[in-house]
Structure 1
Amino acid sequence: MLGRRTARSVVAVATASALVMTALPAVAGGSGAVLRRTGFGVPHVLAGSYHAAGVGAGYAFAEDNLCLLAQEIVTLDGERARWFGPGDGNLEADLYHRWINQTGVVEAALASRTGPSRNARDLARGYADGYNRYLAETGVDALPESACTGAGWVRPITELDIWRRVLQIADMGGAEGVTDLIAAAQPPGTPAVASRTAPTGLPDVLGGGIGSNAVGLGADATTGRTGMLLANPHFPWQGSRRFHQVHITIPGELNVSGVSLPGLPGVAIGHTDRVAWTHTVSTAVTVTLHRLALTPGDPTRYVVDGQTRALRRDPVTVTVRQDDGTLTTVTQPVWSTPDGPIVAVPGALPWDTAQAFQLRSANAGNLRTVDQWIGMAKARDVRQLRDVQARLLASPWVNTTAADVTGTAFYGDLQVVPHVTNAQEERCGLGDLDGIPVLDGSRGDCAWGTDADAPVPGLFGAGNLPTLFRRDVVSNMNDSPWLANPAAPLTGYPAIVGSVGTERSYRTRMGLQLIAEGIADSGFTLPELQAMQLNNRNLTAERGLPSVRSWCDSAAPAPSAPASDGRAVDLTAACAALAGWNGRGDLDARGAALWRVFVLRLRTSPWTVPFDPADPVGTPRGFDATRPGVITALADAVRAFAAAGVPVDVRLGDAQRYEGIGVHGCDGREGCFNVITADVTRPATGVQHGSSFIMATELTRSGPRTRTLLTYGQSANPTSPHHTDQTLLYVDKEWVTERFTEREIASDPHLTVRHLP
């Protein structure tokens, strides 16, 4: 006999299923969408057209996170200084975005021959319409999140706003990431009124808060003899780069589930019934700097092959809110060449009477990503997925790892890469700044080339970029393509893509070790792949903890050592903490936080055996705590904890928190696969970034079996029931069993249904 709660659930499911069946004729006719939500607030959009699919996805996102996108629209409008004041880079960002808007960069890209398809445009227009529908139904004054309730800067959005957002994300590693350098670029003797703080270098625009792990398994590496994928992007836990989960179905056309970023229509990382894929940040450099030789007596003109050209000057006016709430305006020109803006860093990239520096980004005008995601979602296997990527080359700064139901795994760094050959860089290179090549802009033969198979000028085509198909495994943990599979190293690609034969990161080595162990143990099952992701093993601890403990034992009963300033530090408590630690970044670990700060303070190598390209996973090795500087770093770490008032044996879950919830995981720089980045000496600052969306998928002949975790929940709104519900799952190392088929969706006891005609 059914209990009362079970009976209510059955009735609710039956009612919801009936609503779906009632709506299906309208969906089939393309006139609307059905928005279903299952457990943990995961939206499933059933639509009859790309526009209707966009409506459902945009509406669902707005319900969960409208404030996140509304704030980004303020950025894209160039109005941050108007609403939030000129600080925090707002004035510089406004100058750049106003320049982009008034020069029509996005409009020109939309109208170009490589502009978005009709389906992509319909999807984007629908996304804006869905967002606007929720906003109109709710009203600005009744929005559920206090961050934007009643805010004057919240407005309806347009399709153009969506494409501006697409370009913003694509060019995150280009001009979008250096707006302060653009603001600082003014002719000699002219003050840069819109640059409040002089930049000191090129910021780590991608490395500062983004990374990822990806593992694609083929039939030879799985017990089920099929394809499996582990997706593990490491993105910020706050702000406009939080993932949002969605499942989009257009019957007979599209059926894809996964995540995307705020304002991006479609699914960027996810799976279908036959293929699963994910992305990792690539080592490929997507921008170059060009030193312009200026005309004597006129620093606004430059010379190429003896011919004089004028820099373009675009005056830009920005509205600025003063401390007393009044508004004023600031006007400053943005200077550029046809290839990109002028940038300046005092001392490093000066604009003086002889030279100026221009930034060129391979992602300028790249709106192809939405079409690529649609094409990937329609691929029947990884070879078709590769063909879509090769044709569009839309991935802005990421590798792709994928697997399919045939048991084939794929790795490809098929992304936008400036066509700068090794020979050209040697011939034209003037050095580099923070890893960005500086080329001679006074010579026409130093401009980017173009491959015949490139979709737009200036890029390497797919034929010059690394790809690999395997029946065992491919992976990437943000190192170069070289060891996507250690048994079949990738070589021969341009140096601008990445290195070959160089030392791998601790995290890459940990990942390759975990993969090899899993394959050796009769291959992976889905639970084993999940367990590998959350085991919190730490490479430097596994290799170095015995040596540090040995030093502690030899220095007992009162171990001490000088810190970097020469002052002696008592290490008794530190040695005790490390003696009781199992070497993993688990929630209750004591010693894990100390080890992290210790490793990050190491300034000399602790390894006795150096890196050997013939043994890239096993070297360097031989951690020796007696080497000069090693115990000094431990003393410095102890001093850091003392200065912060945090005990060296602090429980990791008390030092690493999100919304008051302690979380497990550790820093990739320690050699952790399950990355969580947080300043453990300042617990109040919380988690910065790390494992964000985690997806383990097994592609069986009877359909996909998928487990997911959105570590910070679907909603950034603290009052939402889906703000930290998945955080609590993550803490307990539990997963969400994804509902992909109509039967699975209809049987969810938490199912809700809404028809959006």
Structure 2
Amino acid sequence: MHRSRASGADRKIARTCGWKPLSLLVLAALSACGGDNGIGTAETSTQPVYKAEIRRTSLGVPHIKADDLKGAGYGFAYAQAEDNLCTMADSFLTYRGERSKYFGADALLVARSTIGQPRNIDSDFFHRHLLSADALSKLIAAQPADIRDMVAGFTAGYNRYLRDLKANAGNAHVACRSEPWVTEITPDDIYRRMYAANFGAGYSNFLANIANATPPVAPAATATTASVRRSKPSATQLAALRIQLPELQIGGKEGIGSNAIGYGTAATGSNSPLLFGNPHWYWRGPDRFYQAQLTVPGQLNVSGATFLGIPVVLIGHNDNVAWSHTVSTARRFGFFQLTLASGDPTTYLRDGKPVKMTAVPITVDVKQASGQVTPVSRTLYRTEFGPMVNLALLNPALGWTATTAYAMRDLNEENYRLFRNWLRWNKAKSLDEFIAIQREETAIPWVNTIAVGRGNSKAWYADIGPVPNVSAAQVASCTTPAGQALAAALPRVPFFDGSRSACDWQNDADSVQKGAIGPSRLPGLLRDDYVANMNDSYWSSNPKAPMNGYPSILGAAGAEAPLSMRTRLGHLIAQGRLDGTDGYSGNKATVDTVKQMVLDSRVLTAELFKTRALPVLCAGPSITVSSDPLTREVFSPARTVDVTQACSVLQAWENKGNVASRGAHVWDEFWTRASLLPSAQLYNVPYNAADSINTPRDLKTDAPAALQQAFGAAVLRVQQSGFAENAPRGDTLFATRSGVKIPLFGGCGTSGYFTIACSENRLDKGGYTMDLNPNGNSYMQIVSFPDSGVEAHTFLTFSLSDDPASPYHADYTREYSAKRWVRMPFSEVEISANPDLKTRAISQ
């Protein structure tokens, strides 16, 4: 894919300025080119195209002020790059499809994101295929002038920082600044990055399947003739399939989700509602959040967070509205089984008529072990539904054969409204306007929305975005045997017969795009007490007012929708505040109380089950363990594990995961294993939809062998880890910055933590470090609207910068560790009065 490395104007500036090591001559040249060299911006002789003021307050949070949206994007990109250049440059390579060129074909992406950690070669073909020039042209054509202005400014701001860095590198970004892949960008790079965010709950989960979807070889290749001639498996064969699903990054992996609670004025006891928002998200990589405020007087004044490389605020607040998001249970994609024309595996039949697939030849440059770069080509294919997908990676019986193939459709591929929606929200003047925008655009791609607004007594929950419009009759008549085989692994995902137009996704009278459910049939709830979501379905957004009657593709409901332990605790926390039963004073959701209760690090499974479990787990001084139910390791001979110390520690443990709590890791290791037991074997009282936040309950202890095996294996893991059974939580759970461990609190949702810090690292492999590819609390905000303005308290848990040389690499993390919420300046008076204020003007 051709792309221009820099505009003609940029190349001229680069030639003029030379970008040589600093000298008086270079400093003079920088002034002539409008550069500030990290010292200050010189005025140019002509009116600058882009200009902005970057005002950093405590912990480095930038407050970008500009005269127009181009300038806002310019300053925003400059600040993002100044703090996270290496991550951003690396991500632009990903979306450009150039990873293999620099890092080889088989290396995996270093940081996990919504695309997981695929091989470079698969990532490259996937992104070249879906983020093609044709796809970008459609996306760009649909953007309003405001978005185009912000993208243009953002591109210029990123390039400006790169030029300034080359002129005066200092000790910044030593990990990447000299690499050949750290180059200037074009607006297309930003549009690719923006568009890729659409696919987090759809195509991105099937990256390798799409990147490797090629037709069977010609029959002349005798070695594979059998596979070419293989026809589709029978219904009996399909029913027996074992499906190896890809890891679903959004909503399918522990820790990736979110908590959000919106309190109405009946709960706050004041004239202002209150929002608590807390995405559990990636701490590293391209989807890492970045916090900032953007101000264009008279047009825009918004504060919050966005993904790196995106020029609008995705979660945050303005003067009148605050919102957050949680991952939705609605399915946004589906599959179509194609019946192929005889003798042509790239032609399929629609109502008996042949339709030719669109061939998409793609060539990717690949660095070899020798250092030489060679081209590798594949021809991938598209249909009217979407790209072809290689489901043989799920099971060989689902491969592309001479008679059958599979296409995938993700509604967000045609959703060009997404960033227009968010920018309109950035400017919204009331909650009513915010809700109207959400219904008009129906664009939010794979998340729920929780919002509150000044002057409105109620809090808003909605799952209004692109969702496939499939009827119950279609599900019954159009689902193929392959779809039935996949139903257990991918519930509620339509897997239809693509040979019949009767199986196409339908339209409502108010559908905003083809094949999508209209907003009038999507769930929304306004309450003056509270609404909340912790990644279970729309149904349970307030247990006192369960929502029913919505299409099943949106998520389970009622008897089919048992809540996660995290969701149960979230509602217990939210409702406990109103009942006055949570141990804090009064029964109102005040800012000060919410700040404490959402970081209390309670462990619901310990609160519910520890007292009942300990007598059977600690019936003797030791347990003989034959296997580990978590790792499936078999011990031969069996291991005798002394549980005396572990039992003593758990008995004294206060059932929390705070930094100083002793015993949390022992319980976590136990419950992670115990939770693998079937619910009927684990609880005396099963789930009851009429009492959803209190069931299932009552741990079964009459047949304790399985629980004892889980506990013995857990204690063995702890003893082998090098961490004492009574080690403080902050010793076992931590983030490392510049070689220094910062103790953390919380845990994983499986154990029933509401405060999430979920490491993928095993305890016996160095502890629950948040340094690799963890997920957990990320951009956190508590926002209310007093008469005096906006009151916002925030955390960016992993800190603002990925650069160890930055002063903003660890400071926010230390504040989070100490639970010191940051009162975020928002008004001009607050920003000007901040004791850590540093101001810098840039222009070109």
Q: TM-score, normalised by structure 2?
A: 0.82
Choose from 464, 472, 488 the match for 1:414. Answer: 464
Question: Which residue does the alignment assign to 2:36?
Answer: none
**Structure 1 residue 159 corresponds to structure 2 residue 240:** no
**Structure 1 residue 630 corresponds to structure 2 residue 707:** yes
Choose from 147, 164, 168 the match for 1:120. Answer: 147
Question: Which residue does the alignment assign to 2:688?
Answer: 612
Choose from 74, 79, 82 the match for 1:63. Answer: 82
Deviation by residue 1:682-704 (Cα, 9 ceiling, x = unmatched): 33572211001110112112211
Deviation by residue 1:335-366 (Cα, 9 ceiling, x = unmatched): 22122111113226311222111111011043
Question: Which residue does the alignment assign to 1:681?
Answer: 764
Range moving further from structure 2, 408-417 or 305-314: 305-314
Pairwise mapping of residues 534-553 of structure 1 onto structure 2 (< 5 A)? Answer: 534-553=599-618
Q: Displacement, 1:482?
A: 0.4
User: CA RMSD of the aligned region, Å?
Assistant: 2.3
The AA in structure 1 aligned to 2:270 is: G
Question: Which residue does the alignment assign to 2:579?
Answer: 520
In 1, distance between residues paired with 2:712 and 2:77? 52
In 2, distance between residues paired with 1:167 and 1:627? 53
Choose from 664, 676, 697 the match for 1:592. Answer: 664
Question: Which residue does the alignment assign to 1:489?
Answer: 546
Deviation by residue 1:345-395 (Cα, 9 ceiling, x = unmatched): 322631122211111101104332221112112222222111111111221
Question: Which residue does the alignment assign to 1:357?
Answer: 406
In 2, distance between residues paired with 1:227 and 1:355? 55
**Structure 1 residue 720 corresponds to structure 2 residue 806:** yes
In 2, distance between residues paired with 1:278 and 1:729? 22
Choose from 563, 566, 575 the match for 1:507. Answer: 566
Q: Conserved in 2, the CA contact under 8 Å of 1:141 and 1:149? A: no
In 1, distance between residues paired with 2:449 and 2:512? 18
Q: Displacement, 1:232?
A: 0.3
Q: Conserved in 2, the CA contact under 8 Å of 1:362 and 1:417? A: yes
Structure 2 stretches lacking a partner, 5+ long: 1-38, 109-118, 222-242, 581-586, 629-633
In 1, distance between residues paired with 2:133 and 2:312? 28
Choose from 748, 772, 788 the match for 1:702. Answer: 788
The AA in structure 2 aligned to 1:473 is: Y
In 1, distance between residues paired with 2:792 and 2:701? 43
Q: Conserved in 2, the CA contact under 8 Å of 1:305 and 1:443? A: yes
The AA in structure 2 aligned to 1:539 is: L
Q: Displacement, 1:288?
A: 0.3
Q: Conserved in 2, the CA contact under 8 Å of 1:713 and 1:727? A: yes
Q: Conserved in 2, the CA contact under 8 Å of 1:665 and 1:672? A: yes
Instruction: Quickly say closer, same or farther: Cα 1:71–1:558, change in 2 above 3 A.
Output: closer
Question: Which residue does the alignment assign to 1:652?
Answer: 729
Equivalent position SS for 1:342: coil
**Structure 1 residue 397 corresponds to structure 2 residue 446:** yes
Choose from 527, 533, 537 the match for 2:598. Answer: 533
Runs of 4+ in structure 1 off by over 6 angstroms are: none
Deviation by residue 1:394-418 (Cα, 9 ceiling, x = unmatched): 2110010001122320001011111
Q: Conserved in 1, the CA contact under 8 Å of 2:391 and 2:406? A: no
The AA in structure 2 aligned to 1:95 is: F
Equivalent position SS for 2:783: strand
Range moving further from structure 2, 399-408 or 630-639: 630-639
In 2, distance between residues paired with 1:402 and 1:579? 41
Choose from 360, 366, 369 the match for 1:320. Answer: 366
Q: Displacement, 1:558?
A: 4.3
**Structure 1 residue 438 corresponds to structure 2 residue 495:** yes
In 1, distance between residues paired with 2:200 and 2:124? 15
Question: Which residue does the alignment assign to 2:293?
Answer: 247
Equivalent position SS for 1:343: coil
Q: Displacement, 1:280?
A: 0.5
In 2, distance between residues paired with 1:409 and 1:651? 38
Range moving further from structure 2, 347-356 or 413-422: 347-356
In 2, distance between residues paired with 1:243 and 1:596? 28
Deviation by residue 1:115-150 (Cα, 9 ceiling, x = unmatched): 111111111111111111111112288371122121
Range moving further from structure 2, 222-231 or 182-191: 182-191
In 2, distance between residues paired with 1:624 and 1:587? 31
The AA in structure 1 aligned to 2:197 is: I
Question: Which residue does the alignment assign to 2:819?
Answer: 733
In 1, distance between residues paired with 2:190 and 2:472? 37
Question: Which residue does the alignment assign to 1:78?
Answer: 97
Equivalent position SS for 2:494: strand
Q: Conserved in 2, the CA contact under 8 Å of 1:491 and 1:500? A: yes
Pairwise mapping of residues 277-296 of structure 1 onto structure 2 (< 5 A)? Answer: 277-296=323-342
**Structure 1 residue 98 corresponds to structure 2 residue 128:** yes
The AA in structure 2 aligned to 1:56 is: G
**Structure 1 residue 263 corresponds to structure 2 residue 309:** yes
**Structure 1 residue 466 corresponds to structure 2 residue 555:** no
Q: Conserved in 2, the CA contact under 8 Å of 1:412 and 1:468? A: yes
Q: Displacement, 1:437?
A: 2.9
Choose from 251, 268, 274 the match for 1:228. Answer: 274
Q: Conserved in 1, the CA contact under 8 Å of 2:470 and 2:505? A: yes
**Structure 1 residue 745 corresponds to structure 2 residue 831:** yes
In 1, distance between residues paired with 2:841 and 2:639? 69
Instruction: Quickly say closer, same or farther: Cα 1:525–1:30, change in 2 above 3 A.
Output: farther
Q: Conserved in 2, the CA contact under 8 Å of 1:105 and 1:365? A: no
Identity %: 35
Question: Which residue does the alignment assign to 1:39?
Answer: 58
In 1, distance between residues paired with 2:376 and 2:767? 37
Q: Displacement, 1:242?
A: 1.2
Question: Which residue does the alignment assign to 2:432?
Answer: 383
**Structure 1 residue 665 corresponds to structure 2 residue 746:** yes
Instruction: Quickly say closer, same or farther: Cα 1:178–1:685, change in 2 above 3 A.
Output: farther
Q: Displacement, 1:559?
A: 5.3
Instruction: Quickly say closer, same or farther: Cα 1:103–1:51, change in 2 above 3 A.
Output: closer
Equivalent position SS for 2:780: strand
Q: Conserved in 2, the CA contact under 8 Å of 1:33 and 1:53? A: yes
Q: Displacement, 1:552?
A: 4.0
Range moving further from structure 2, 311-320 or 613-622: 311-320
Instruction: Quickly say closer, same or farther: Cα 1:642–1:289, change in 2 above 3 A.
Output: farther
Instruction: Quickly say closer, same or farther: Cα 1:254–1:427, change in 2 above 3 A.
Output: same
The AA in structure 1 aligned to 2:769 is: G
Q: Displacement, 1:31?
A: 6.3
Question: Which residue does the alignment assign to 1:11?
Answer: none
In 2, distance between residues paired with 1:343 and 1:260? 31
Equivalent position SS for 2:426: helix
Question: Which residue does the alignment assign to 1:569?
Answer: 640
Q: Displacement, 1:322?
A: 1.0
Choose from 186, 199, 202 the match for 2:246. Answer: 202
**Structure 1 residue 304 corresponds to structure 2 residue 345:** no
Equivalent position SS for 1:485: coil
Equivalent position SS for 1:496: helix
Equivalent position SS for 1:256: strand
The AA in structure 2 aligned to 1:247 is: Q
Instruction: Quickly say closer, same or farther: Cα 1:636–1:279, change in 2 above 3 A.
Output: same
